[in-house]
Amino acid sequence: MDHRAQCWAQTSQFIAQVQDIGDEIGMPYIAAQADLADPNPMSDEAGVPYALSTFRWINPDSEYYRDRKLALSEPFLNACRLSAEPFYFRDGQFHMNRASHLLSSIDCSHIHESILSSEAIIVPVHQPRSMLGTIIWCAKDAVGVEDIFRHHAARLQYLAVQLISTHNEARGRPRNAPILQRLTRREAQCLRWAAAGKTDSEIGIILDLSISTVRFHLRNAASKLGATGRTQSIQLAAGLGFIGAV
């Protein structure tokens, strides 16, 4: 069995575990997306959406996974972009185990009842190269989500990371990603100053390098990152932790 086939087999195992724990904690309605930027629903090897083949949803007639605007409009998906930690939904608000002004600032009044009708646990999965997935466990009625979250959030997060990571690897995502090479100190420094908006000339003055040397380091960094230009180099370097958030 080749690597991709192994990943698909493991994905099926994690799918079953995600469903099993949902049944166990009384939140059996599940939605998952491996990449929020992908307009297509998360699907099995044959291309069948898991929303049709495996996961149940609150409203069995809902085809939420076909709504390509959902990832841009739903507050709970925007919350995933702001938090790398699991959080839960109750009484029209998001909560987690600590205070977070990022979550409390999100307006939940526009959440569609067909998507989140009662209580839910949402687990964002931030992947390398700026990929973002999520798994959501829901209940039709109040089940005491705060207590469930306190006892099971870590386990849910582990399963979500395993499923999303394995599924993306099975699909070969991100496509055409090169084998990651180590950036040199100078390459990282040039990228860091480029991310701060400095020109090649300004970077040269700051680092006491010639303009041609600065460009040499930036070209090398782009090649190592598999980037096609300055902006993409900065984005990928930040997403991979080479230069910090920009």
Was domain 185-239 assigned CATH 1.10.10.10? Answer: yes
> How far does Cα 119 stand from its chain's mean position?
21
Tell me the per-residue pLDDT of 87-127, one tens digit each, with 9 for 90 and over. Answer: 999 988 899 988 888 888 887 877 765 566 689 999 999 98
* Residue 170 CB-density burial (10 A; 0-12 exposed, 13-18 middle, 19+ buried): buried
Residue 123: per-residue pLDDT: 98
Residue 115: per-residue pLDDT: 64
CA distance 214 to 217: 5
Percent of the chain with pLDDT over 90: 62
Class (C level, CATH) for 3-170:
alpha beta
CA distance 69 to 47: 20
Inter-residue contact 143 to 119 (CB < 8 Å): yes
Residue 92: per-residue pLDDT: 84
pLDDT along the chain (246 residues), means of 10: 89 96 96 92 94 89 80 84 93 87 80 71 91 94 95 97 96 71 92 95 96 96 90 88 76
CA distance 117 to 145: 13
**Rounded to whole angstroms, what are the CA distances from 175 to 7, 130, 143, 170?**
16, 13, 41, 11
Amino acid at position 208, single letter: D
Residue 113: per-residue pLDDT: 58
Q: Report domain extents, the chain.
A: 3-170, 185-239
Of 161, 150, 120, 154, the closest CA to residue 138 belongs to 120
pTM, rounded to two decimals: 0.83
Tokens of 217: 């380091």
Residue 106: per-residue pLDDT: 83
